Amino acid sequence: MDTHHQHLIGDCLIHIFTFLTEDDLITASRVCTDWHEVADTPWLWRRLCLQRWAFCNPAVLGGGRVTHPWKTYFLRRCHLEMKMTKGRSGGYTCKSLRGHTGRVVGLVYLQGNSAQHPDLWNSGATVCSASTDGTVRAWNIQNGELLWCSAVQSPLTAIVTDEQRDVVITADSTGLIKTWQGQDGQEVASYSTASPHCTLLQYSINNDWFLAVGTSQGSVCTLADSALTEKSSVKVCDTFKVNILLVSPNKKWITAGTKDSDDLSPKVIYTESLISPSEDEDPLCRAVPVAGCQAAVFIPTQPARLAVIHRTVRSTNKALTVFDVSVKKTKYKSDIQVQQVESFPLSLNTSSSHILLEAKDSNCLVLAADQELCVYSLKGALLAHFKEHTMSIASICMDSFRVVTASQDLSLRVLTWKNDRDNALTLESRYHLLGGSHTMSRGFAHVACDYTSIVASVEGRDGKDVLKAYYFTS
């Protein structure tokens, strides 16, 4: 190398190395000392990180303790994703979390490791579970330790969480809503709805905290702040319980409905009418023009685009219709606009009302019914179809990296996202995780996941459910 023009030759090498993959870059670094120095240039590895992932934070690796943070971050995260993609023995640990003496009705991450902001240095996560034994339990899933257990109350029926405020929210069979401190399980506040079944939805608007509660009497009650102060109560459907409750990405709309009647359409409600109700006017509310609702989801990349699975008007077949929801304000009044974007029939060979629907991005819907898992585009194209479970899918969880399905056949199926030749997003089936013995268990009932772990509940034949925690590490 010409000692008078080292910086020029180094710049040329850096430019050439931008055309290399990470494997080729590592190989090139073994050629000589000069190539090794250039191949370790932080800019090259930062470029590879940002090409592969939307968000990267090498600071989570430990700051000054790491010599080449961008390179270390890239290699460590790739190694972790390889383990999560392969699912081989030794790539993860499995812990059985025992302690509940009843059926687990739900589980949520209190402190998770999100795919958007993965922490590759400190990957411990806390999961909270609620049970018919009347307790909430918090677990460290990395070591299987029980962190705290709430006092016993009536059988619990629902659980949600707010990770930002470190709060857990539960509902019991008497309609009592409670909030708990995530750190130590201390009760914060309570509110009685007198409803034996409640559906919970927590959301925030401009840092203001709200909780929507769907009741067995067909109402949606809105509570505010940690004191659970009632702001409003709106009747959505008569004689049927509200078991569909969603908030739009722009937080301007609540969708509420019931799966228990094919004649009752879901409704969209302007959130401003719920959190700041007027004494002179009814809440701004409109029915979505479909026959019933068996599943619904807001598209996460759109302000207020709603996908609904419903029966067709002239038959018992099912269809999926997509709507854009907006409000049109004039000088004297405001009107809700519900405009149809797409609609297509679903080829589902099921009469079951247990249909699960999730949305990945602006053009990808994931649907589970019985043993089938389907991926549709918003125009109705079937992008992928899987029938790998031998019994019904009970629950699914999804993030930007993978989809996990939990089945009554006592297995979890893990699928990862990929782009096919036409640049359409679809799923690729990877592996399954087993949950134990059929002689002791009835199958998986609930599943949740973060970037480094998967947690699912197993229904025990003795009535005592167990949590299975699968933890991947880089």
Compute the distance between CA of residue 397 and CA of residue 413 in angstroms, rounded to an integer: 11
459 alpha carbon, distance to own chain's centre:
22
Compute the distance between CA of residue 256 and CA of residue 266 in angstroms, rounded to an integer: 6
Encode the chain (474 residues) as per-residue pLDDT tens digits: 455 455 556 678 778 887 878 788 888 888 888 788 877 888 888 888 888 887 777 776 655 566 778 888 888 888 888 998 998 888 899 999 999 999 999 999 987 776 666 666 656 789 999 999 999 999 999 889 999 999 999 999 999 998 788 899 999 999 999 999 999 999 999 999 999 999 999 999 988 999 999 999 999 999 999 889 999 999 998 889 999 999 999 999 999 999 988 889 999 999 999 999 888 788 889 999 998 899 999 999 999 999 999 988 766 788 999 999 998 887 778 889 999 999 999 887 666 668 999 999 888 999 999 999 999 999 999 999 999 999 999 999 998 889 999 999 999 999 999 887 665 788 999 999 988 887 888 999 999 999 889 999 999 999 999 999 999 887
Question: Domains of the chain (ranges plus CATH)?
Answer: 3-85 (1.20.1280.50)
Name, in order, each residue with C-beta under 8 angstroms of 321's C-beta and a sequence gap of 6 or more. 290, 307, 308, 310, 340, 342, 343
Name, in order, each residue with C-beta under 8 angstroms of 12's C-beta and a sequence gap of 6 or more. none
Compute the distance between CA of residue 364 and CA of residue 358 in angstroms, rounded to an integer: 9
Q: Encode burial over 224-248: b for 16+ CB neighbours within 10 A, e otherwise.
A: beeebeebbbbebbeebbbbbbbbb
Q: What is the β-pairing status of strands 355-361 and 219-224?
A: unpaired
Q: What is the β-pairing status of strands 466-472 and 92-97?
A: antiparallel
DSSP class of 236 = -
- Degrees to nearest 5, angle at CA 157 with 287 and 447: 90
pTM for the full model? 0.88
- So what's the pLDDT on residue 193? 94
Mutual angle of helices 69-86 and 42-52, in 10-degree steps: 30
φ and ψ of 171, to 5 deg: -130, 145
Does residue 162 sit in helix, strand or coil? strand
